[in-house]
Every structure is written in C-alpha cells, then in structure tokens.
C-alpha cells in the first residue's frame, strides 16, 4: 500500500507492505457430508451444512499419502450444493482429504477440511496386471521379483513409475479412522478391529481382534503412546504423553505361522517362514537370510527402480519416459526390450514382448474404467457398467 500526504507545499510518500493471511482451516466447517473420518463406499455427494450459500470457491481432494496429488472436484462452488460427487469405485481404498476454500453469501471466507476413507471392493473397470521378471529359488522363501500395475493407482508413482509397484508379496494394508486394520494378501481380505485391553487405573494396551474366521493375528510393534492408552469418548490418547494413539508398525502372523512385518508407512519390510528363513525388503534391494543372498536395486532421483541385479550378477534394466511411465524392460542376454504404451493419465494400453508381439490393446472410458480389450488375434471384448 502506498500512502501520500501533502500540506500544499510539500508532499511525502511512504510504502507499507501488508500481508493478508488466508482464513484458518476448520475441520468439517461448511461441509456436512461426508462426515469427518467418515467412510465413503460407492458414490457420495459433497453437501453443505444448512443455511450456507456460497458465492465462490474451489473444492479439491487428495490422498493423505501424497498431498501433491490434488484433484479439483469443483472449480466454481456456488449456491447451496451438492458441490460434487465422490466416487469411491474409482479410488484406491484408504485415507483422503477434502478441502473447500470458499466465500459465502455474506462475504465470509473459510477453508473447510474433511478427512474421509474410501472403502469397498466394488471397483468396476479396474485393470490390474502382474509380471514376474525372475525368481531366485531358495530354501524356505524364494526371492520373486514381480511388477504389479493397478489402474486405480495410476496417479501414484511407485517402484516402477506411475501405477506400477514392486510385488514382493501382494499385500495391501489399510488403517481406518478407529485404528482398525484391513489387509489383503494374495487376494484374501482380512479385518482386525482395534480393541485395546483394559488394566488397572483405566489404562489400556493396544490389541487387535480379528473378524470371525481363521485369519491369523495382528499385533502392534510400536506406537506413539509407549503402549499406554486412555480412552476419551471414541478417541484413544496417550496415558503418558500429550498425543493421540497411532501405531508405528505391525506384525501379521498368518494361519500357517508366517510373519509379515509392516512399517508405519504401511509397506512390507520383512517376511519370515516357520523355519526362521527371512526376506528383508529395503529400498536398495531384497536380502534372504538363506545364504545372505541379495537382489540389489538401483533407483533414480524419483525413487524408481532403474536396475535390478540378481545374485549371479545378471542385470534387468527399466526405462521411463518424460512423464514418469515405465516404457521398457530389458532382460539379461536380450538386446530388444519389452515395451509399454499408455493412454493419457498413465492408463496402461499395450505391452510388447522382445519379439515384437503385442499382447493386446486396452481402451478406457472417460472415467478411466476398462471399456474394451482387443487381443493379439484382433478379437475385441467390450465392457459396460
């Protein structure tokens, strides 16, 4: 701001810098649904609380695991709503944030934040593909290098670029708003409810109880409360610290006795069989306790695997395009790589083997759902939802 003053003879000017802070975010705020920490299955409208009329605003959403992957649901929120529709059938299950930056009809500005959880297994038009690059046969637990593509994960940059991740074990780990855990291993989905055990002085210790059925057991390997919890309403807080409860790791034991260790970021860090054979998974490779053999990874600045070296020194090379998509895989002793192409939005379209054979062509609709597949013989299968 520039200020100017004069007495008729002399004039003086001064510049003053003014910083206007945006309004503080309010949990829930003007958003009525979805509710804070609510679950969204299928399609759900984003609605406003009664009495709120918007004259302008923007509604955005992003996964809690990647605050940079922001999707604009409505670039011009006006009126009384509904403002948009959240379609959980197009989202990977997990935790998300919804943000409404808006001005209401009285001129008041507010940022409303809602955390919600996408749930459910009904994901029509989802495309997945798994490729096994090689296996190191070992006593107990072999080291198997698999790549898994998931069209629902296409906006996330994984171990092999957008949509692809390392499939050492087909494990998906989800933590709900009540600290309940749902994990999926090799296609089998299991839920463990957070049911802390009470003790003296109203203190509790973490405990998980599995849903009915023979699904193994889950324990916490650490938490923010040093294992001492108090309950306030529906919330668990620390008994010895000023914090809310949050697990920093888990150990899942399957019905056969195999142990899976999961880190705070919900990634698998080790797998141990009944004989004590252990696979340790890290950013730089996978190590087996059987003979201390290692499959080594080289990653680029974006965290993508560019080279894998097996225990015999054979190298597998992975190439990417400028948009971060996996486009080539070169196998040992072969000069021609396998190739991949994509539709816009990192949707996997074709795979070509080193001999030049195209396995098929996948076409998607505007929402990213599978629309048709044409096989190598030219036969096309159409899909409708």
pLDDT, tens digit, 9 for 90 and up, residues 305-352 = 999 999 999 999 999 999 999 999 999 989 999 999 999 999 999 999
Q: What value does the mean pLDDT of the chain take? A: 89
pLDDT, tens digit, 9 for 90 and up, residues 184-212 = 876 677 889 999 998 666 788 999 999 88
Q: Is residue 344 within 8 Å of residue 355, measured between CB atoms?
A: no
Tokens matching residue 109? 């500005």
Residue ranges of domains in the chain, CATH in brackets: 25-118 (2.60.40.10), 128-325 (no CATH)
Please give the full DSSP string across 284-299, using - where no structure is assigned: TEEEESSTT-EEEEEE
Q: Average pLDDT of 342-368?
A: 96
Q: What pLDDT, on the 0 to 100 scale, is given for residue 357?
A: 93
Q: What is the CA radius of gyration of the chain?
A: 26
Residue 236 pLDDT > 80: yes
What is the arrangement of strands in the sheet containing 164-166, beginning at the earlier edge strand?
A: 128-136, 143-150, 164-166
Residue 280 pLDDT > 90: yes
For residues 217 and 254, what is the distance between their CA atoms, to the nearest angstrom?
7
3-state secondary structure labels for all residues of 169-232: CCEEEEECCCCCEEEEECCEEEEEEECCEECHHHCEECCEEECCCCCCEEEEEEECCCCCEEEE
> How would you classify the pairing of strands 157-158 and 161-162?
antiparallel
Tokens matching residue 332? 């040992």
Tokens matching residue 291? 């003979």
Residue keyed to tokens 């945006």: 22
Q: What pLDDT, on the 0 to 100 scale, is given for residue 25?
A: 53
For residues 326 and 329, what is the distance between their CA atoms, to the nearest angstrom?
8
Q: What pLDDT, on the 0 to 100 scale, is given for residue 18?
A: 43
Confidence of residue 22 (pLDDT cuts 50, 70, 90): very low
Please give the full DSSP string across 230-252, using - where no structure is assigned: EEETTEEEESSSSSB--EEEEEE
* CA–CA–CA angle 361, 316, 294 (5° rounding): 130
**CA pseudo-torsion sign 331, 335, 336, 337:** positive
Q: What pLDDT, on the 0 to 100 scale, is given for residue 16?
A: 43
CA atoms within 13 A on the CB side of 16: 6
| Among the ranges given (7-16, 30-39, 245-254), the one the predictor scored with the smallest mean pLDDT | 7-16
Confidence of residue 258 (pLDDT cuts 50, 70, 90): very high
Other Cβ atoms closer than 10 A to 9: 5
Q: Is residue 299 within 8 Å of residue 305, measured between CB atoms?
A: yes
Q: Is residue 94 within 8 Å of residue 48, measured between CB atoms?
A: no
> How would you classify the pairing of strands 164-166 and 143-150?
antiparallel
Helix then strand then coil, in percent of the chain rounded to 5, is: 0, 55, 45
The helix/strand/coil state of 256 is: coil
For residues 385 and 380, what is the distance between their CA atoms, to the nearest angstrom?
17
For residues 105 and 374, what is the distance between their CA atoms, to the nearest angstrom?
52
pLDDT, tens digit, 9 for 90 and up, residues 142-181 = 999 999 999 999 998 999 999 999 987 557 888 887 888 9
pTM of the prediction? 0.81
Residue 20 pLDDT > 50: no
Q: What pLDDT, on the 0 to 100 scale, is given for residue 171?
A: 76
Q: How far is CA 105 from the centre of its chain?
A: 36
Contacts 24+ apart (CB under 8 A), 259-262: 260/169, 260/171, 260/185, 261/221, 262/171, 262/173, 262/183
Q: Average pLDDT of 207-229?
A: 90
pLDDT, tens digit, 9 for 90 and up, residues 87-113 = 999 998 888 999 999 999 999 999 999
Q: Nearest Cα to 327, choosing from 357, 309, 349? A: 349
The helix/strand/coil state of 361 is: strand
Q: How far is CA 85 from the centre of its chain?
A: 20
């Amino acid at each position: 701001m520039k200020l100017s003053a004069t007495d008729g003879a002399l004039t003086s000017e001064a510049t003053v810098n003014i910083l206007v802070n945006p309004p503080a975010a309010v949990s829930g705020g003007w958003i009525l649904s979805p509710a804070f920490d609510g679950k969204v299955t299928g399609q759900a409208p984003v609605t406003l609380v009664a009495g709120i009329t918007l004259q302008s605003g923007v509604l955005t959403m992003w996964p809690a695991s990647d605050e940079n992957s922001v999707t604009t649901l409505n670039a011009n929120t006006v009126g009384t709503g509904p403002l948009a529709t959240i379609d959980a059938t197009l989202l990977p299950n997990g935790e998300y944030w919804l943000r409404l930056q808006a001005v209401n009809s009285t001129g008041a500005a507010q940022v409303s934040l809602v955390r919600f959880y996408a749930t459910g297994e009904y994901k029509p038009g989802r495309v997945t593909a798994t490729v096994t690059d090689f296996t190191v046969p070992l006593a107990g637990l072999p080291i198997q290098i698999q790549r898994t593509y998931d069209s629902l994960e296409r906006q996330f940059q994984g171990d092999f670029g957008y949509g692809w991740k390392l499939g050492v074990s087909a494990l998906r780990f989800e933590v709900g708003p009540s600290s309940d855990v749902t994990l999926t291993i090799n296609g089998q989905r299991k839920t463990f409810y957070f049911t802390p055990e009470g003790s003296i002085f109203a203190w509790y210790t973490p405990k998980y109880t599995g849903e009915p059925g023979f699904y193994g057991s889950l324990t916490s390997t650490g938490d923010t409360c040093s294992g001492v919890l108090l309950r306030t309403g529906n919330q668990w807080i620390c008994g010895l610290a000023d914090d809310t409860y949050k697990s920093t790791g888990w150990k899942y034991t399957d019905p056969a006795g195999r142990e899976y260790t999961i880190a705070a970021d919900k990634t698998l860090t080790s797998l141990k069989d009944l004989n004590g054979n252990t696979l340790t998974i890290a950013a730089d490779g996978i190590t087996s306790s059987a003979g201390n053999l290692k499959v080594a990874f080289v990653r680029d600045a974006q965290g993508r695997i560019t080279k894998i070296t097996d225990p015999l020194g054979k190298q597998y090379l992975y190439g990417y395009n400028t948009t971060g998509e996996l486009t080539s895989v070169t196998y040992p002793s072969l000069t021609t790589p396998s190739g991949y192409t994509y539709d816009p939005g990192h949707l996997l379209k074709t795979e070509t083997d080193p001999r030049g054979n195209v396995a098929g062509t996948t076409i998607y609709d505007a929402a990213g759902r599978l629309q048709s597949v044409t096989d190598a013989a030219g036969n096309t299968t159409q899909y409708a939802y």
